[in-house]
Structure 1
Amino acid sequence: MITTKLPLAAAKPPVHPLLQPWLTRRVPAVMGVLNVTPDSFSDGGKFLAPDAARAQAAKLIADGADIIDIGAESTRPYGSQPVSAAEEMARLRPVLADVVALGTPVSIDSMKAEVVAFALDTGVAIANDVWGLQRDPAMAEVVASYGVPVIVMHNRDAADPAIDIMADIAMFFDHSLTIAAKAGVRQEQIVLDPGIGFGKTPEQSITVLARLDELQRFGLPLLIGASRKRFIGTVSPSEPQQRLGGSIAAHLLAAQHGAQIIRAHDVAETVQALRVACAIDDAR
């Protein structure tokens, strides 16, 4: 059953006005990925040129994206090259205002507070921090000062197959929420992302998806981004661009177990799958 409702036992905080329409409807919201990078794991370099990035943003919206998530630094676990805040902003500057002008809410995928502030000043509406407010000490203050929603993602510097990954995620989120509260970030601003593929073995990523219900104890919206991730290739050998079927399977099951936002590269197919699954469920 596709559901976007939290269990009655969870204490739900008020919902940020921007998030309200997405978190109260039957079909999860879809966040379209726009990588303005030369080295992202599945589409590095395809949208680095400003014209290509603008065209891709328009396509994602036409395909049904509720949010455009734009990032200018690859955060793939293996082989990505760190870049400076100045380089991130240089990549964003030619395209960001134009993407915002398309009228669909935009999130900035960055772990640097300086870049997030720059993007928010340009009209971006959501902060997406792959280090869950724990890497840049200024991030929580920036989010609090702008009052925008923030996606708090679980991450680790390296995967450790020996750990209980669900316990690690819970401990990480507890720490992130403490940081957020001290900085004045309201609970209504926070979305949690368990970080499929980040600091996890493929088996641990599968475990997170299988036990997603456990994260509902936080009473906060959940985002899942399983799109084209490596764990799919370990189950069914494939290159990133060949993982559409596995991505949709993971996202449908995540929606069934409480994910309210789905982050995907293949927006049209993901939107269709979610809508059809919901229609079938409604007919039961």
Structure 2
Amino acid sequence: MPSLSLRVAGAVALAIALPFAATACGGGGDENSIVIGTKFDQPGLGLKNPDGTMSGFDVDVAKYVANELGYGEDQIEWKESPSGQRETLIQNDQVKFIAATYSITDSRKEKVSFAGPYLVTGQSLLVRADNTDITGADSLQNNKKLCSVSGSTPAQRIKDQYPGVQLQQYDTYSACVEALKNGAIDAVTTDEVILAGYAAQSPGAFKIVGEPFSEERYGIGLKKDDTELCNQISDAIKKMEDEGAWKAAWDKNLGPAGVEAPAPPALDPC
């Protein structure tokens, strides 16, 4: 049986180790890092490059916010955040916050809180460049095969407003775009800014058609009712806009797609 001194030493060591273990499991990583959720497959917004680096407008917004919170780029751990998993990742403390083309909606606000919006866009359609019979949302009703992502706002809007469409739901927009490329589906729907990134990635292969038929307000998702963090993120977004870093991030990531930088939207109170 261990001596009393050994048992006391072991208990002290365990007491010291436990707080560090608990911290490392939280959404912020350990005290020297932060876990941020974003998309890994959306060119121009959130993309994991072949060399492992991250790029895109959402990524640059997240980096700026993290820096304002006291974390350098080398202290960020990126967590892939598919549309259908975002609330769960936040609720389970797997991320500190998520910047991933995350539309602010009333139903989502029941589960998580949002800082922002930092961008307003609208739902649109991407088709093959030689397509002539899809001109907008109403032309989809004729048994067209349309692809969107499970758990996304655009997919739900199609279900609610365009019941005559054959909606195919995939896990990622990149899978939808691949299906569009090989002719398995007729169109892809999501926010125009996302579609523009894919169109720019494959010049001449696709085109965006029709006018946007929704308003999507992108926010940064975080733990519900964490007002302190929400205010810190909102202050960072405002500073990014005021300093010109917001427009610079847009021009770098989405300018090549030929999409003009919009005016930054007014921020909601936390």
TM-score calculated relative to the size of structure 2: 0.29
Q: Which has the higher strand share?
A: 2
Q: Work out which of the two has the higher radius of gyration on C-alpha atoms and give 1 or 2.
A: 2
TM-score calculated relative to the size of structure 1: 0.28
